[in-house]
């Protein structure tokens, strides 16, 4: 493996072979709790509709304390690379000029740090590390779950798609291969044609990927 992806570096994988299996205890999954104490603050998950706020709080705490390898890894990831999280309004205005009045994704012109974090999550602030956590959940979460290793696997469709969700391992978040993977190949997950992507294949493409993932 490398900083640019996850590879079958030491040998080949057969179809349906488990690639990763992460215990749920290591998954930042926003399990609803009345009160959560992260970074000396009290966070409130008011209901299941705000579960991604809980994930963001957990990620923020992991990055701030540096107590886990995953938290330290996330803390060193690039900041504000999703268009809606660009720090400069000038940058979003320039994107708007390029897009004009009719081209998508117009939603990328909104300040998502304000819309999806400050105004949405109880207790949220403009602290830069909090905003970084919110952006990471937007760009890298599997639903509400932030999963070590899983978010290091790059996106690619077609023949290159070779890693899929696997629900056969209880109490773990698992991925398995969906075809034989030769030694040296990179593992890829799709953003819109995966086994749990639902109707994304019909309406979610390049524009939405740029909007949500940068």
- Give the mean pLDDT of the chain: 79
The band of 201, judged by pLDDT with boundaries at 50, 70 and 90, is low
pLDDT above 90 for 81: no
Radius of gyration of the chain (CA): 18
Q: Looking at residue 38, what is its pLDDT? A: 45
Quote the pTM value.
0.81
Structure-block tokens of residue 81: 């690379």
Structure-block tokens of residue 200: 């994304």
pLDDT above 50 for 17: yes
Percent of the chain with pLDDT over 70: 79
The band of 51, judged by pLDDT with boundaries at 50, 70 and 90, is low
**How many whole angstroms separate alpha carbon 214 and alpha carbon 210?**
5
Work out the number of other CB atoms within 10 angstroms of the CB of residue 14.
10
pLDDT above 90 for 185: yes
String of DSSP letters for 59-75: HHHHHHH--SHHHHHHH
| Tens-place pLDDT, residues 161-176 | 899 888 877 788 899 9
| Tens-place pLDDT, residues 142-160 | 888 899 888 889 888 888 9
Q: Looking at residue 131, what is its pLDDT? A: 93
DSSP state of 201: H
Decide if 65 contacts 71 (C-beta within 8 A): yes
Three-state SS at 188 = strand
**How many whole angstroms separate alpha carbon 31 and alpha carbon 213?**
24
DSSP state of 185: P
């Amino acid at each position: 493996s490398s900083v640019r992806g996850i590879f079958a570096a030491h040998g080949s994988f057969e179809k349906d072979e488990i690639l990763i299996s992460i215990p749920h205890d290591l998954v930042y999954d926003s399990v609803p709790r009345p009160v959560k104490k992260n970074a000396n603050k009290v966070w409130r998950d008011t209901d299941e509709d705000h579960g991604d706020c809980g994930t963001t709080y957990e990620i923020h705490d992991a990055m701030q304390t540096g107590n886990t390898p995953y938290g330290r890894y996330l803390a060193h990831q690039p900041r504000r690379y999703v268009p809606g999280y660009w720090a400069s309004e000038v940058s979003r205005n320039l994107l708007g000029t390029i897009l004009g009045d009719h081209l998508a994704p117009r939603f990328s012109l909104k300040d998502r740090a304000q819309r999806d974090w400050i105004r949405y999550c109880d207790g949220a602030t403009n602290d830069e590390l909090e905003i970084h956590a919110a952006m990471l959940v937007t760009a890298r979460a599997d639903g509400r779950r932030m999963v070590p290793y899983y978010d290091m696997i790059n996106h690619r469709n077609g023949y290159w798609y070779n890693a899929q969700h696997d629900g056969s391992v209880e109490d773990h978040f698992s991925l398995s291969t969906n075809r034989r993977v030769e030694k040296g190949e990179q593992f890829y997950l799709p953003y819109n044609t995966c086994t749990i992507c639902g109707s994304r294949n019909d309406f979610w493409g390049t524009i939405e990927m740029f909007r949500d993932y940068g």
